[in-house]
Structure 1
C-alpha cells in the first residue's frame, strides 16, 4: 500500500511543479527572471514552489 500512495503523491507533486513551470514561462516577467524561477523550481522543488507561490510573478 505504501508504494502506491507514495507513487501517487509523487505524481501529484510532479504535476504541480510542471504547472508552476508553465505558469512562469507564460508570465509577463523578463526572460532572466523566468530562467531563474525555473531553475529554482527544478533545483529546489519544495522550497522553490513555496517561494514561487509567495513571491513569484503574478498574472
Structure 2
C-alpha cells in the first residue's frame, strides 16, 4: 500500500513541477506568477487542478 501512495506522490510532484515551469515561462505578470507558484507549492493537488482550469496561458 505504501508503494501506491509513493507513486502517486511522485506523479503529483512531477505535475506540480511542470505547472511551475510553465507558469514561470508564461507571459503573465510577475505578481501573477508568484501567486500561482505559491498556490502550487502550498496546495499541490488543489493548486494543480486550479492551475489547469484558471492558470496563465502562454
Q: Please report the TM-score for the alignment, with normalisation by the length of structure 2.
A: 0.92
The two structures, once aligned, show a CA RMSD in angstroms of 0.8
Runs of 4+ in 1 over 4 A off after TM superposition: none
Instruction: Look up the match of 2:32.
Output: 33
How many aligned positions are there?
58
- Structure with greater contact order relative to length (CA < 8 Å, sep ≥ 6): 2
Higher Cα radius of gyration: 1
Q: Distance in 1 between matches of 2:2 and 2:45?
A: 20
Which deviations, in whole Å up to 9, do the C-alpha atoms of 1:12-56 show, x marking residues without a partner? 110000000000000000111100000011111111111111111
Q: Distance in 1 between matches of 2:23 and 2:37?
A: 7
- Give ranges in structure 1 of 5+ residues lacking alignment: none
Q: Please report the TM-score for the alignment, with normalisation by the length of structure 1.
A: 0.90
